[in-house]
Amino acid sequence: MENYDENDLHAGPKLIVTEDVRSYIFETTKWTRFMSVLGFIAAAVFAIAGFSAGAIMSAALNATMNSFEYGAADRNMIQQGGTITWMIILFLYSLFIFYPSLVLYKYSNLAARAVKDADQEAFSQSAVKMKSFFKFYGIVSIIWIGVSVISMLFVLSTSY
């Protein structure tokens, strides 16, 4: 593997984007735009579910708590705590889906413009958006792996 000097990266154009590559990028933009729109729809569904959490929790708790001996004050306290918790979770999840969808949508538009108009600046900006998209999911993956390992260690330590 060759070592690259920082000056080599800016020395001049060494990358040639052929028509085949341009067509691949353009086809990719259609799919990334489709996936980003699906992400926007999912984010909206979770945001709406967050607003509806009160009604859903109320119906679910009334259905399940009627068979138990809870007073009205206990029901209200449990309902409010659960509702606020679920609202926060659903809104955070909505934002968690919205951000990468927005970055992917911006990538789609920039890459399509770069390919159609042979716009170097749009091509560079689209690469930045794609880097941001994968960086986001890389960080999320690292966090998920860390939480999973800690959870497994916790389960193993409490089971012995």
pLDDT tens for 19-37 read 999 999 999 999 999 999 9
The widest CA-to-CA distance across the chain, in whole angstroms, is: 77
Give the model confidence (pLDDT) of 123-137 as tens digits.
Answer: 999 999 999 999 999
Give a three-class secondary structure readout of 44-67.
HHHHHHHHHHHHHHHHHHHHHHCC
Residue 10: what pLDDT? 62
Per-residue pLDDT tens digits for 99-114: 999 999 999 999 999 9
